[in-house]
Amino acid sequence: MELYVLWIVVFLALSFDFINGFHDTANAIATSVSTRALKPRVAVLMAAVMNFLGALTFTGVAKTIGGGVANPADLEFGVEIVIAALLAAIAWNLITWWFGIPSSSSHALIGSLAGAVIAGAGMGSINASGFTDILKALLISPLIAFTAGFILMWLLKRIFANASPHSVNKGFRSGQVITAMFQSFSHGTNDAQKAMGIIVFALVAAGVQDNMDVPLWVKISAATAMALGTSVGGWKIIKTMGTKIFKIEPINGFAADMGSAAVILTATMLHLPVSTTHVITSSILGVGSAKRFSAVRWGVAGRILIAWVITIPITVFLAMIFFWIIKALFL
């Protein structure tokens, strides 16, 4: 295999990671920006640093992505499959970013990889058990995050029921700085590893290495790409997450960040890729429901839910089209 083809994969994977950074920056800092706990530029730079540190800390999710959907060593067109998957995931991320929809980069990548494998090697090449485990994690984690956000907010409401609202908001506004850092770190531990995993997938498919271990240069480059993307910031999605679901106060933002960051970090420790977008949005919805069910703008939540549901089918289809185009032109 020509070396330049692998470099195309690396470039596209890091581009996906960069786009993931600015697409998902809002997830980590939307609540702290909307409550003015952090100024937008400070929040974005802090998120970039913490994303970088988180991305360097773990590799278990990368190994799950690298071998969970399919075995790259068994694929005849493994590298071309990765290229098609990355083109589809990048295209969907840019479309949803443009419209300010907090869709899942994780769903986009998993759906795209599955679609490209099916187009390039057939349905039988999908690792059914591994793919099912990934889907379970993606589907169950938002429910856990909703519950965590609801319970945390319910507890905080009762603990501070008789306290002065001004004092409570002032205290939790300071606390949000810590939770935003925790949120950004946890985001890096899970999301950056997806680009690492896809690069390792290509390296194994090309015969460059024979295991799913993540080389140091892959870790550093993916962490850097996500940090740089995060530094750009995704202001459209910040507006949706931070203001359009319900009016977030500092105590709400604190609860939402703590609940979602704990779920994401737990998933990382279990080597499970989750959608940080779904987890954080679900935690915000849980907090809003505990605050007052009618306070949640369920119409906005419904539009976000539609984006969640259609992401995997659309990216499967997009990746298949990209693979067929690559095959017609180059294979």
Query: What are the two backbone dihedrals, phi and then psi, of residue 317, each rounded to the nearest 5 degrees?
Result: -65, -45
Between CA 196 and CA 205, with CA 199 as vertex, the angle to 5 degrees is 140
Q: How far apart are CA 104 and CA 194, in angstroms?
A: 12
The residue with greater pLDDT, 182 or 277, is 182
- Please report the pLDDT score of residue 257 as a whole number: 92
Burial of residue 35 (CB within 10 Å: 0-12, 13-18, 19+) is buried
* Percent of all residues in the chain with a pLDDT value above 90, rounded to a whole number: 47
Mean of the pLDDT values across residues 148-155? 96
Residue 234 in domain: yes
Residue 331 in domain: no
- Average pLDDT of the chain is 87
Between CA 291 and CA 202, with CA 140 as vertex, the angle to 5 degrees is 130
What's the number of domains the chain is made of?
Answer: 1
pLDDT in tens, 230-273: 877 655 555 555 455 557 789 998 999 999 999 999 999 999 99
Residue 88 in domain: yes
Residue 57 in domain: yes
Instruction: Report yes or no: 183 and 276 within 8 Å, Cβ to Cβ.
Output: no
The DSSP-derived string for 231-291 is HH--HHHHHIIIIISS---HHHHHHHHHHHHHHHHHHHHTT----HHHHHHHHHHHHHHHH
Lowest mean pLDDT among 28-37, 181-190, 230-239, 302-311: 230-239
- Residue 86 pLDDT more than 70? yes
At 124, which helix (H) or strand (E)?
Answer: none
pLDDT in tens, 269-321: 999 999 888 888 889 889 989 987 776 777 766 776 787 788 999 999 999 99
- Please report the pLDDT score of residue 242 as a whole number: 47
- Residue 27 pLDDT more than 80? no
Provide the angle, in degrees to the nearest 10, between the axes of the packed helices 128-159 and 250-269: 150
Residue 200 in domain: yes
Amino acid at residue number 123: M
Residue 214, classed as helix, strand or coil, is: coil
* Residue 206 CA to its chain's centroid (Å): 27
Residue 69 in domain: yes
Domain that holds residue 129: 3-326
Structure token digits, residue 236: 């459209």
Residue 102 in domain: yes
pLDDT in tens, 44-71: 888 889 989 999 998 889 888 878 899 9
- Please report the pLDDT score of residue 92 as a whole number: 92
- Please report the pLDDT score of residue 238 as a whole number: 57
Nearest-CA neighbor of 274 among 24, 86, 97?
Answer: 24
